[in-house]
Structure 1
Amino acid sequence: MKTIIKYMLLCLLAVNTVTAQQNSQSINLSNAEVTPYEIELTQNKTTHILFPSSIEYVDLGSSEIIANKVEATSNVLRLKTVKEDISPTNFTVITNDGKYFSFNVSYKGQPIQLSYDLTKFEKQKSKKQSEVLFKDLGSISPSLVDLLMKAIIKKNKKELNIKSKTYGVEAWLKSIYIQDGKLYFHISISNKSNLPYEVDYISFKIKDRRTTKRTTIQEVSLKPIRSYITSQKINSHSKQDTVFMLDQFTLSDKQVLSIEVNEKTGVRSQVLKLRSSEILKLRRVELLKL
């Protein structure tokens, strides 16, 4: 009898051990699910979705739906079906700030709603979006980059005194910060004139300091990875702060960094020039109190 009981206990122990091993080796992915938005599409009407940031990536689950970014904007997506009564499908959108959006699509001849504003979820914080990482940002999340840029503007620390002023418009490089091999340039533009000032583009170029008439000017254009700009237009007697993120670089004693603020259809462009010694005055992002 004792032998039988021992045998039964050994069997139970073996079953429990196998079950424990199976449980330790498997993960329930339902806890990692990205909750999708439910949306209705139709063939004869266009549906528009307003995202909180620029659209970087769109993947459609079926060729029976078509999607395009609205040309005049970067954060509005328009959708419709190619025929009536399509099968249920889905699509995915990733925005510039790293947010990941998933949608379940069903067909309806007369959808109740044709326009969606997802920025409302940003304000209400009632629905969290998953976040992705971009190669050009390295290990820094897009939301952290956005937070750092806002913190730099809020801090408004005047570390540098590099200015350019013409026709009542003044550009000022206030500070440079660094984190994980990325440089943050804080530029303030003040419009003291009676005419609005509209920024066409801001460029970053490494140039030779001194050139002769017989020497070809050597320059290298640097492309910003990210930028924080609230508006391209600066009204009269107002100012705007912007932050640009660039990959880390260095200058020789014979080079300068030229930051050019170009006015759209105007002549009030500004040029800020930095030497290598001024680039080295950058501050660590850790010094900001977020």
Structure 2
Amino acid sequence: MKTIIKYMLLCLLAVNTVKAQENKESINLFNAEVTPYEIELTQNKTTHILFPSSIEYVDLGSSEIIANKVEATSNVLRLKTVKEDISPTNFTVITNDGEYYSFNVIYNEGPTQLSYDLTKFEKQNSKQKSEVLFKDLGSISPSLVDLFMKAIIKKNKKELNIKSKTYVVEAWLKSIYTQDGKLYFHISIRNKSNLPYTVDYISFKIKDRRTSKRTTIQEVTLKPIRNYSDFQTINSQSKQGNVFMLDQFTLSDKQVLLIEINEKNGVRSQVLKVKSSEILKVKQLSKLKVK
């Protein structure tokens, strides 16, 4: 009797296995395809592509094409072939805002076009974009970070009273927000002078508030992960705002965060001092209207 039961169970198992194999369907990745751009390259002329954001990564499908970022920019790629009549190939570009671009390349001795502006193209077309995640952003998508920063700039509310003024140039730390383990610093510069104000660089440093002459000053430099825009030149009688994203941190009562804004070839540098109490009072970004 036991032998018969075992035999019946084996038969049922075999039948179910066959049915499972018959019902199992392969997954078609056609709908997951990233639609590539078509581009023509040649050997005796250089092709340039202007991307909406800074280029982070380039992968070439063949050694028969060469690609380099234009030195004076961060979002322009130049391309050409190393010889005539190369085989069809491809290349991939990932930009700072997380956008993923795929290109199919064919050789043409006389390309119909040598310059491409993808910023202009994407505004005119509803081509669905593919987005990647960056390690330094964690689980936050670059497009969401961009929306957060735009919301902060749009709200433009002065939540803090932290400012610096030198030679009729003012700098304000207007607010600090937090979201998903990141801190967002909203900085505004107002130039009340008749001379343009050009920012050389902005640094974030944690320093000890009080140190004796015999004590070594402890200093930690923090590197921003992202910023909304590049502070360049603030014209006379005008102002400009920016948002910097950093990894979350806290300060002890003996420490201070110094945000140093340095003028290029000038002396109108600014220093914003942030205490530990102000870091602890940051507001949640989720309370802002993000669109």
Instruction: Give yes or no for the alignment of 1:236 onto 2:252.
Output: no
In the other structure, the counterpart of 1:44 is 44
Indicate the SS of the match to 1:86.
coil
What is the one-letter code of the residue matched to 1:38? E
Q: Offset at 1:89?
A: 0.2
What is the one-letter code of the residue matched to 1:266? G
Q: Offset at 1:211?
A: 1.6
Please list, as runs of the form range in 1=range in 2, the aligned pairs for 1:11-160 lying within 5 A after superposition.
17=19, 21-23=23-25, 26-160=26-160
**Normalized against structure 1, the TM-score is what?**
0.92
What is the one-letter code of the residue matched to 1:103? F
Q: Give distance in 1, aligned partners of 2:144 and 2:36.
A: 24
Indicate the SS of the match to 1:265.
coil
Indicate the SS of the match to 1:68.
strand
Indicate the SS of the match to 2:24.
helix
Whether the aligned pair in 2 keeps the contact of 1:121 and 1:127 (CA below 8 Å) is no
Q: Offset at 1:29?
A: 0.1
Instruction: Give yes or no for the alignment of 1:217 onto 2:217.
Output: yes
Whether the aligned pair in 2 keeps the contact of 1:39 and 1:104 (CA below 8 Å) is yes
What is the one-letter code of the residue matched to 2:70? V
Q: Give distance in 2, aligned partners of 1:21 and 1:159.
A: 61
Whether the aligned pair in 1 keeps the contact of 2:85 and 2:108 (CA below 8 Å) is yes
Whether the aligned pair in 1 keeps the contact of 2:231 and 2:242 (CA below 8 Å) is no
In the other structure, the counterpart of 1:272 is 272
Q: Give distance in 1, aligned partners of 2:50 and 2:22.
A: 47
Q: Offset at 1:124?
A: 2.5
Q: Give distance in 2, aligned partners of 1:65 and 1:115.
A: 17
Q: Give distance in 1, aligned partners of 2:284 and 2:86.
A: 54
Q: Offset at 1:217?
A: 1.2
Q: Offset at 1:36?
A: 0.2
Q: Offset at 1:105?
A: 0.3
In the other structure, the counterpart of 2:168 is 168
Whether the aligned pair in 2 keeps the contact of 1:93 and 1:102 (CA below 8 Å) is yes
User: Which sits farther off after the overlay, 36-45 or 223-232?
Assistant: 223-232
User: Which sits farther off after the overlay, 64-73 or 123-132?
Assistant: 123-132
Q: Offset at 1:231?
A: 4.5
Indicate the SS of the match to 2:150.
helix
Q: Give distance in 2, aligned partners of 1:170 and 1:105.
A: 51
In the other structure, the counterpart of 1:256 is 256
**Normalized against structure 2, the TM-score is what?**
0.92
Q: Give distance in 2, aligned partners of 1:279 and 1:153.
A: 19
In the other structure, the counterpart of 1:8 is none
Encode CA deviations 1:112-133: one digit per residue, 9 max, x unaligned.
Answer: 1000000013323422220000
User: Runs of at least 4 residues of structure 1 off by over 3 A?
Assistant: 16-20
Indicate the SS of the match to 2:273.
strand
Q: Give distance in 1, aligned partners of 2:19 and 2:272.
A: 70
Q: Offset at 1:48?
A: 0.2
Indicate the SS of the match to 1:215.
coil
Q: Offset at 1:27?
A: 1.5
Indicate the SS of the match to 2:164.
strand
What is the one-letter code of the residue matched to 1:172? W
Q: Offset at 1:20?
A: 6.2
User: Which ranges of structure 1 fall in alignment gaps of 5 or more residues?
Assistant: 1-12
User: Which ranges of structure 2 fall in alignment gaps of 5 or more residues?
Assistant: 1-14
What is the one-letter code of the residue matched to 1:64? E
Indicate the SS of the match to 1:139.
coil
In the other structure, the counterpart of 2:5 is none
Q: Give distance in 2, aligned partners of 1:27 and 1:70.
A: 41
Indicate the SS of the match to 1:111.
coil
Q: Give distance in 2, aligned partners of 1:259 and 1:122.
A: 36
Q: Summarize the Cα distance change of 1:153–1:125 in structure 2 as closer, same or farther, 3 Å threshold.
A: farther
Structure 1 vs Structure 2 CA RMSD: 1.6
Instruction: Give yes or no for the alignment of 1:183 onto 2:183.
Output: yes
Q: Offset at 1:216?
A: 1.7
In the other structure, the counterpart of 1:6 is none
What is the one-letter code of the residue matched to 1:162? I
What is the one-letter code of the residue matched to 1:140? I
Indicate the SS of the match to 1:147.
helix
Q: Give distance in 2, aligned partners of 1:122 and 1:220.
A: 41
What is the one-letter code of the residue matched to 1:236? S
Q: Give distance in 2, aligned partners of 1:18 and 1:165.
A: 74
Whether the aligned pair in 1 keeps the contact of 2:204 and 2:259 (CA below 8 Å) is yes
Whether the aligned pair in 2 keeps the contact of 1:62 and 1:90 (CA below 8 Å) is yes
Indicate the SS of the match to 2:67.
strand
